[in-house]
Amino acid sequence: MVKRIKDMSAQVNPDVKVDGKKILSDVVQLDALASISEENDSRDSRSQAIVPEKCPVCEMGIDKKDIKYYDVALLKKFMSVRGKIIPRTKSGVCSMHQRTLKISIKRARFLAMLPYVDIGI
């Protein structure tokens, strides 16, 4: 890279001498500053949700067979205010329990125990 910088400056003005090491150190410093700003942007607190490390349903000791469509209180914990099913990435539920919750919520919706959508009138 230093060699290329020297070649480019020689084409522009052959009388001017270029300190390649100084230019290289400046480029390295700029790259370091750019990487620091990118890390700060990616760690924005608004974009990251706090997700539990263990499945909350497993922590409660609830088995897959114990999640039923008529247990509305449990099912509402895994639904948003608008009536949508909260995804695994936000709720922290394991895949086995998420599938069971999904089926139970859909059955409860079909039997009108839970709303499909809450429009908030």
Q: pLDDT at position 52, please? A: 74
Statement: the pTM of the whole predicted model exceeds 0.85: no
Q: What are the structure tokens assigned to 91, written together? A: 């709720």
Q: Give the pLDDT band of residue 46 (cuts 50, 70, 90).
A: low
Go through 40-74 and write b for each residue having 16 or more CB atoms within 10 A of its CB, e for each that does not: eeeeeeeeeeeeeeebebeeeebeeeebebeeeeb
Q: pLDDT at position 76, please? A: 92
Q: How large is the average pLDDT for residues 65-71?
A: 92
For residue 67, what are the contacts with CB-CB under 8 A and spacing of at least 6? 57, 74, 75, 97, 100, 101, 104
pLDDT higher for 101 or 1? 101
Name the 3-class secondary structure at 35. Answer: helix
Q: Are 51 and 90 in contact (CB under 8 A)?
A: yes
Domains in the chain: ranges and CATH? 2-42 (no CATH), 56-110 (4.10.640.10)
Q: pLDDT at position 119, please? A: 72
Q: How large is the average pLDDT for residues 62-90?
A: 91
User: Is residue 37 scored above 50 in pLDDT?
Assistant: no
